[in-house]
Every structure is written in structure tokens, then in C-alpha cells.
Structure 1
Amino acid sequence: MGSLLDIGSRRIFNEESDMFRESVRRFMREKLVPVYDSGFDGTNIPSKEIWKAMGDMGLLGVGISSEVGGYDGNFTDASIILEEQIYCNCTAPAILIHSGIVMPTLQTTAQRNKSSNTCRPWCLETPLALWL
């Protein structure tokens, strides 16, 4: 087995997750790394442009059900996003809090209320976690 940074080096990932990792890695290197210092203003909170770019790429609320506006991803997908974020040294906790803590709570509420697309704005670009 190669380095854990190598694509496909761990048996829990399949070809689909390797392709997802490649696209996330490319996004992080091309979009996040160049603006990390200026786009986060030293606060570890992404700018609106970064939130929008992550939403456009499908990286916000990846584990949220499509019933409420999410992408139907799973824990593996969320892990890949977090790993790639850490590998490029862009450790903005607001992204993890938004997608991993706040969004699942909203999803539960939306499903209880039988509301469709409730989570869609926060999967696209709106940094809801910052307002709580």
C-alpha cells in the first residue's frame, strides 16, 4: 500500500469514491488553497465566494438527503472532503460545522415537518452555521 495521500490506497474506498476524491482534491488545490489566507481573513471562516464555489461543487451538505435539497452523499463522501481539506492545510472548522453538525439537524427537522428542499440553500452557498 502506498501513502494514504495516494488515490485508491485504502480498501474502504471504491472507484467512485476515488473519482470523487480526485475532483475534491482538484477543487481544493485550484480554488481553496490560492485564496485561503485572503479569502478567510485569518478567521477560518470562508468568504461568500468560497461558500458559493463549494456549494456549486456539491461540497456543502454532501450527506443531506435529496428529499430536503441535499446531494444524497454518505459518510465516506464527507470524510473525503474533510481529508482533502486537511491535506491542503485549509482547516476551516466552519465548513465542518456547517455540513457535519448544523445541516443534519436541519435535515431531521425538515423530514419531521415533511418540508422538501428546506436544506437546499445551505447545500448551495448560504453559510447558515455562521449565523447560529
Structure 2
Amino acid sequence: MRRRTRGIRVLVAAVGSTLALGLGTASASASASAAGQGTAAVPCPSGFVCLVSTDGMIRATVMEGATGSLLPAMRAAEITNNTSIWYCVTGTTTRGIAPGDTLFGIDGILVRRLAPSYTGTCPA
């Protein structure tokens, strides 16, 4: 009888481990598929301009009112302006980004500098 109880405990432990591993995999898969749904803005704290590189990592944040130079220049995938002022993005091209706006679909834009624009215009 003792051997049988021991066998059942081992079997229950093995089933429990397999179930835990299966749930962990399902959880990871659900997270991965949720991450791939839609295009979301760059996570960016209030009062900052944030850039995400083409490899998906946040590489730079610039505080509102400050100018940021990126050395070496960074290939940006998305840029979020979570400030109350316009910002000029200088690199491959120069463009403005309005307060509270996010630039999407800019894969490969080379960013060298971020500067505030109190007039809302950027030099060419």
C-alpha cells in the first residue's frame, strides 16, 4: 500500500509540473500575441519626448524644453512627444511633432537631434 501511495504522489507531482509548464507557455504565448496586436504609442512619461529604435528598445528620452543630441544617430521606428510644446526631429529629414502626438511608420528615419520649437515650425 505504501508503494502505491508513493507512486500516486509522484504521478500527481509530474502532472502538476506538466500543467504548470503548459500554463506558463500559454501565458507567454498570450503575452507575445497581445504585444503584436495593433500599433501602440511609445510608452513615454509625461513631460518627455521618447524614441524607440528599430530594434524595439527605448533608446532616448528628452525632457520638455531640453535639446537632445544623439551620438551616434539612431534609426527610429516611433517617436512620441508627451510634452506641451512642439519638437523638431532632425536627421535624415527635419520634421515637427506636435504635443501629445506620435510619429508611426517611420522605420529607418535617422535621428540626430531633438529640439523644442516654441513657434511650431522647424527649419528645413
Give the TM-score of the pair, scaled to structure 2: 0.27
Q: Which has a greater percent of helix? A: 1
Q: Which has a greater percent of strand? A: 2
Could you say which structure has the larger radius of gyration?
2
